[in-house]
Amino acid sequence: MSHGKGGPTNGGSAGPTNRASGDRTGALLEIDGLGVTYPGGVRAVDGVSLALRAGGALVLLGESGSGKTTVARTVLGLPGRGAAVSGTVRLAGTDLRTLDERALSDVRGRRIGYVPQDPSSSLDPLRRIGPQLAEVLRRHGVADGRRAARAAVPGLLATAGVPDPERVARAYPHELSGGLRQRAAIALAICCGPELLIADEPTTALDALVRGRILDLFTTLRADCGIALLLVTHDLAVARRIGGTVAVMRAGRVVELGPAERVLREPDHAFTAALVAAEPGARR
């Protein structure tokens, strides 16, 4: 999608309106005119519209403070204390913003999985990995009883790429490497068979080899399980590896949107071009 070098997403005297949402036919996730304002008038997200198909990948790319994490957390119904939210967020046609907290909590467990940057924020440090997974399965009615839930755990860990899942199921989070903790967090996020997986900077704290394996795992989950991926990152290399569609964010707005290969090879917007030029190893 071309908007002219350095131009806004949608031209006009009022500035970019971010209607660059692509083809919405058959979209699983539809974000329309999303705005998030915090106390004091801080506008973190300003009129963002995006769409993501089932099994597809959408990467929110931008600097710290660009609003990408706020978009992801607002999809989850967790924009933050005191946030004023406008616009719509639909999952398979259901406007998530109309749901009460109980219904949203069920959506977060069953239909949307979340992988944080720090797996410690989703894993209980005082409990073994296996019982944590089994509890989520029982809570959302995925497994019928304790025995069935326990029996399902090794398979879930294996799906998340965990070697020796029986050992990991018996381990506490602190007994695992960073890569294994993140895989356990991914297993927790996908254990109920979600339609959408949201991952917020999931590889930042990992070394290059483990980072690549985690990103490959996301690709496998899309291909084998049909899970759509919404990934937040500031890393152009991560965006390239995930592929799909990239939405470049700046100051709460989407300034460029298109196929990852095109956007990161031949950017239209001046800000995207600056990001690409600043990447380590970029030709100057």
**CATH 3.40.50.300: does it fit domain 15-102+194-201+214-278?**
yes
Give the HSE-up count for residue 61: Cα atoms under 13 Å, Cβ half-sphere.
Answer: 32
Q: What is the pLDDT of residues 105-152, one digit of tens each?
A: 999 989 999 999 998 889 999 999 999 999 999 988 888 899 999 999
Give the per-residue pLDDT at 201: 95
pLDDT by residue (tens digit) across 36-62? 999 999 999 999 999 999 999 999 999
Taking the C-alpha atoms of 216, 217, 220 and 222 in order, what is their torsion angle to the nearest 10 degrees? -110
> Which pLDDT belongs to residue 73?
96
Range(s) for CATH 3.40.50.300 in the chain?
Answer: 15-102+194-201+214-278
Q: Which residues of the chain fall short of a pLDDT of 50?
A: 1-22, 284
- In this prediction the pTM is 0.88
